[in-house]
Structure 1
Amino acid sequence: MPSRRALLAGLAALVVAPLSTFAADLPDLGGRTVVVVTENAYPPLQFVDPKSGQAIGWEYDAMNEIAKRLNIKVEYQNTSWDAMIQAVSDGQYNIGMTGITIKDDRKEKVDFSDPYMRSEQFMLVRGDETRFSDGKSFAAVEDALVGAQPGTTPFYTAVYEVLDGNEANPRIKLFETFGATVQALKAGDVDVVLTDGTAGKGYVDASNGGLKLVGGPLGSEDFGFIFTKGSDLVVPVNAAIAAMKADGTIDGLNKKWFLDYKMGE
């Protein structure tokens, strides 16, 4: 299993793309209200704290910091992943955040911010799993099942990089939320969940040995916030992300959530 430090280096690499701007003076948006939607099922990016019942995480901290720097008031809403992109596209919400991979087909529906994080895909399995240790050996275990959300990067990784390219392969079991896939894994209903290391590490840390990551990374992806097409928020948010990278704020968030925070403690 990759070390925590190695995961941090891989997941939170910040040299991901040219930044839109390094503007020192950020725009003042006059205290306007911005509705941000998330899933609250993707630790440590955003999730419900088991102790306090409050929604917390890396993306909440980052968005709250962006709001402070741009002088906006954030109103948070919750929805499932499969509804999020369309809902933001339709203008139900101003911004969406849940570790959303920047992909060309999604750009047809929504605008993306500059990348704020790079993540890598790993295989999350039960702690006592011995039948397979990577994608190739998993594919060879014909009765082993994978859990995924339809339309997500893990779903397509399972289909095209681990299995046979058949999107209707019966070995793929679909769930509405990422959290549900992990619960199915714990219950033995599926045998692997393909996830970026960010979420996977959070669940491993909270599992007391019940879960582990196996194999090497199956590919990398850049995360960004999504906006309604043509939104005037994209440029200001990109400026804030650039400033937060430049002054070390994002490094601090990475340390807080990927190194220091331990779920359940």
Structure 2
Amino acid sequence: MKPTLALAALALSATASLAQDLPDLGGREIVVVTENAYPPLQFIDASGAAVGWEYDAMAELAERLNFTVKYETISWDAMIAAVSEGQFDLGMTGITIRDDRKEKVDFSDSYMTSQMVMMVRGDETRFSDAAGFAADPNLLMAAQPGTTPFYVGVYEVLDGNEANPRIKLFETFGATVEALRAGDVDLVLTDGTAGAGYVEASNGGLKIVGDMLGTEDFGFIFPKGSDLVAPINAGIAALEADGTLEALNTKWFLDYKMGQ
């Protein structure tokens, strides 16, 4: 057997073995909560259906681990507390894995890595990077309290003051984008994942400017001590090993057109 064919055969064998070794959750119902406001991870499409990268990934996990999913929705600012209190079994909405959050919830392994970007209106000319934004006291930023974009805005763009009046707080990420479109604020910080989705759907109304402001890993969240963490981690590893995660990236970040 040629070396390349031998390697391919070994990879297929390892993937098949991994799939066979996955835990079986016996049809258990898992209540998953999300925000449905973070395209293309999860959002409501033009037909009114809840779709996105995370929905597809969860469907794959449910099939491979043998569980059923019941979806609920909640605002971002209530999600971590609600999952921590055991109101839901799992939370998904592009949640950055952070040590302070680990004090309240357990995280899965990372299923995606993204970078923070600056999203502005398509006709913005007053600034083109973080330093330019910070230098103009008349410019305002929108953020959700307690999120990674909020902390990046406070500590990497502005002056480290979490009460800085230049940061306007909103309950949902979608509301921050609408405030940007309306001219009520001038900047929304977001990971490249969501930013690319909104820019694609804006028909020139939004754009990304400046350099990347950092890297973040996304994970699912669970109540502390949840017995679901290990099975979900095994499932994530299987999806990565057989190329499913990469296929989802291609589907949602390259092929999918927002608004279709």
- Fold match (TM-score > 0.5): yes
Q: Within 5 Å, give how 1:69-80 maps onto structure 2.
A: 69-80=64-75
Residues 215-241 of structure 1 show CA distances to partners (whole Å, capped at 9, x for unaligned) of 110000000000011010000000000
The CA deviation at 1:86 is 0.4
From 124, 132, 139, give the equivalent of 1:137: 132
From 59, 62, 81, give the equivalent of 1:86: 81
Which residue is equivalent to 2:211? 216
Partner of 1:105: helix, strand, or coil? helix
Q: TM-score, normalised by structure 2?
A: 0.92
Does the alignment pair 1:251 with 2:243?
no
Which residue is equivalent to 1:191? 186
The CA deviation at 1:23 is 6.8
Which residue is equivalent to 2:141? 146
Does the alignment pair 1:158 with 2:153?
yes
What CA distance in whole angstroms lies between the structure 2 residues aligned with 1:229 and 1:166? 31
Q: Quickly say closer, same or farther: Cα 1:216–1:24, change in 2 above 3 A.
A: farther
Which residue is equivalent to 1:31? 27
Residues 195-216 of structure 1 show CA distances to partners (whole Å, capped at 9, x for unaligned) of 0010010000000000000011
The CA deviation at 1:144 is 0.4
Which residue is equivalent to 2:40? 44
| Structure 2 counterpart of 1:29, one-letter code | L
What CA distance in whole angstroms lies between the structure 2 residues aligned with 1:39 and 1:74? 16
Task: Name the larger-Rg structure.
Answer: 2
CA contact (8 A) 1:23 1:239 kept: no
User: Identity over the aligned pairs, expressed in percent?
Assistant: 75
What CA distance in whole angstroms lies between the structure 1 residues aligned with 2:160 and 2:167? 11
Partner of 2:95: helix, strand, or coil? coil
What CA distance in whole angstroms lies between the structure 2 residues aligned with 1:177 and 1:264? 20
What CA distance in whole angstroms lies between the structure 1 residues aligned with 2:101 and 2:196? 26
Partner of 1:93: helix, strand, or coil? coil
Q: Matched residue pairs, number?
A: 243
CA contact (8 A) 1:24 1:243 kept: no
Partner of 1:189: helix, strand, or coil? coil
CA contact (8 A) 1:31 1:72 kept: yes
Bigger proportion of residues as helix: 2
What CA distance in whole angstroms lies between the structure 2 residues aligned with 1:151 and 1:87? 15
| Structure 1 counterpart of 2:199, one-letter code | V
Q: Within 5 Å, give how 1:94-113 maps onto structure 2.
A: 94-113=89-108
Q: TM-score, normalised by structure 1?
A: 0.91
Instruction: Let me know the Cα RMSD of the aligned residues.
Output: 0.8
Gaps of 5+ in 2: 1-17
The CA deviation at 1:24 is 4.5
Which residue is equivalent to 2:15? none
Does the alignment pair 1:177 with 2:172?
yes
CA contact (8 A) 1:38 1:96 kept: yes
